[in-house]
Amino acid sequence: MIRRLFADVLADEGFEVRLACDGLEALEAVGERCPDLVLLDLQMPRLDGLAFLEVLDKACLREFPVIIVSGNGRAREAAPMVEAVLQKPVDLDVLLQCVARLLRAA
């Protein structure tokens, strides 16, 4: 439900959004077309967010900023290599500002 909400909000702002249900599907999507940015939850089925990042980094496929959205208060410590961490529940205005800032910097 949150994934769909974020997708709708970003699409309403003019961003092209692709959804993945789990980490393996996300890897497939990145392999097919390199995204401008990834919005990532740490808790995903089949391949969690940290494992997803590890695979990308080992394969040198990570050429885009990553925002982690997590209810885990230690997400920044768990994933120091990401550009931003947003704590759940996420304020949608903060999400949009963060996405816009990272895309401008890219």
> What is the per-residue pLDDT for 71?
87
For residue 57, the enclosing domain spans 2-105
The whole-angstrom separation of Cα 9 and Cα 94 is: 12
Domain with residue 99: its CATH number is 3.40.50.2300
Q: Is the pLDDT of residue 61 over 80?
A: no
> What is the per-residue pLDDT for 11?
97
| Integer-rounded Cα radius of gyration of the chain | 13
Which comes out higher in pLDDT, residue 79 or 47?
47
Q: Is the pLDDT of residue 93 over 80?
A: yes
> What is the per-residue pLDDT for 81?
84
Number of separate domains in the chain: 1
